[in-house]
Amino acid sequence: MTKMHKENNLTKNQQIVLDLIEKSTEPVKAYSILSNVKKKGMKAPPQVYRALEKLIKVGKIHKVESRNAFIACKNTNCEVSNATAFSICQACEKVTEIVNSKLSKYLKSFQDSTGMKYKKYNLEFFGLCQKCKSK
């Protein structure tokens, strides 16, 4: 096969997986991705997990750890997923990435008592979204 990726340096499989995640309004699970990309020729888990791994590495997607699911990055120019925060509704499972410079500034510069300096953090907030709260 000839050239198989766009200017962003994603390969065909990576682009297929990214397209699917970006289209989704909710976090997508790996095996749900798999069943949805079978028609495009991706047949086995490793193909999906490899694409996910790469997409995370380049900051195109994030993993929502508490849900084992994947979500597209909201920041148009996000290049590395080293500072992530999510809002998760415990009722409807809606997940939204929190983009808040005050918060990220605070956390990026956080120093614990041991003096350990952090390269990366992931924060997940849980509660009820507006919709679910008013039910």
With H, G, I as helix, E, B as strand and everything else as coil, classify residue 97: strand
Among DNA, a second copy, none, the one that 101 touches (CB under a kind-dependent 5 to 8 A) is none
Does 44 sit near DNA (CB under 7 A)? Answer: yes
Give the binding site for a second copy (CB under 8 A): 65-66, 87, 90, 96, 98, 100, 103, 106-107, 110, 112-130, 133
**For residue 95, how many other CB atoms are within 10 A of its CB?**
20
CB nearer to a second copy: pick between 5 and 105: 105
Give dist(CA 54, CA 49) in Å, integer: 9
Q: Which C-beta is closer to DNA: that of 6 or that of 105?
A: 6
Q: Which C-beta is closer to a second copy: that of 5 or that of 131?
A: 131
DSSP state of 28: B
First to last CA, the chain: 54
Q: Which does 128 bind (CB under 5 to 8 A by kind): a second copy, DNA, none?
A: a second copy
CB-based contact 72:38 (threshold 8 Å): no
4 touches DNA (CB under 7 A) = yes
Query: How far apart are the C-alpha atoms of 113 and 7, rounded to whole Å?
Result: 44
Q: What is the DSSP letter of 25?
A: S
Give the CA diameter of the chain: 54
Given 51, 71, 83, 89, the residue binding DNA (CB under 7 A): 51
Q: What's the min distance (Å) between Cβ of 64 and DNA?
A: 10
Binding site for DNA (CB under 7 A): 1-5, 11-14, 29-32, 41-47, 49-51, 53-54, 68
